[in-house]
Structure 1
């Protein structure tokens, strides 16, 4: 490795996903101004003899499919600067509908549902304590977020996560070697950081060029598994008896 500091694929993507999640969490819990007039190891089984596209071609096709998708889900954990973040995300590309659960060390666990122009929060005791709420609701109750739904659109959108992640990766960072593995029964191409798979990898389905898995680096370990591309995610608001007053 040269003396110039380089940031492995896995580290850069993990850092941006982590930063995006933290920004999203902050937006959820910051009151808005009044409106002006709102990790399991993958199988190493090679499953096909089809010629492999280049790493750059796989990256570009995966990027185009991801940013053009209407919806998707991903779940897993990443470690950023020693802080573990567990995320379970499903939502639309524009953020109009989303169901996101985040658990961050020292901040607790929170679930956020955005649907029908409303945003609902459900947190554990640690989460509400970290937000300084004097009288937290019961753990099984949701509250309406003190922020206009429109202000959370970008933070909640699938594209908010994917755009930043893909902008952090260029073909020059990738190894020329393309692997082939099975991930949860899906035949996938594997493209890695130039320093090897231990510094970050992207698993892309051979049939549709859809992302099925991302793995982090040795300094920012983690794994995110992707699914439900362009599917109806069935996101619904909590029932009225599940919603409590805030504060």
Structure 2
């Protein structure tokens, strides 16, 4: 293996593989904020690709907030917590291994905040048709023919809120959830089982009750936050 610590890339597309290798090195701490990324020539030799492929991968990393490229100079690693966007959750989900407990906590709290505000906006902005779809999704809970009932329910609420940024955030959260099933399935079990019924929330949105709808959404989504807090608590 070369001095840079990277080995040849065997799979296609090559640029994506180089991007993923460098991204994972940053997210796992092999390359820390402030570190100098090895030169293009060295990376090209390590990965077994041409310099254009490395340059394209580095440009993608810069666009995503992982590195800073100085023309004619060095490429340095940035602090992704200060520079990345919502897509960082999706990148974290692509990294092998169990999720960082603090990241899971943060994601669940964001999910609760978005759901609470989306419910309020759905009650305010939603149409009669979108409200009807939210109500219709409630009957899918407990039906084996609809294993994604909970996901579909919240998608309808976010769509009814007419907030595109919320939808993008939800997409990132869903991708992270799907990548960590062993960790997330127990946490979301109460939501998916309709333990705290979703029908009253749907009815509050349809009634345009801007106070009750977010309160009910908060109560439902707090189940996952509380479950994760209990699971992540150190044993006595």
TM-score, normalised relative to structure 2: 0.24
* Structure holding more helix per residue: 2
Which is strand-richer, 1 or 2? 1
Larger Rg: 2
- Taking structure 1 as the reference length, the TM-score comes to 0.23
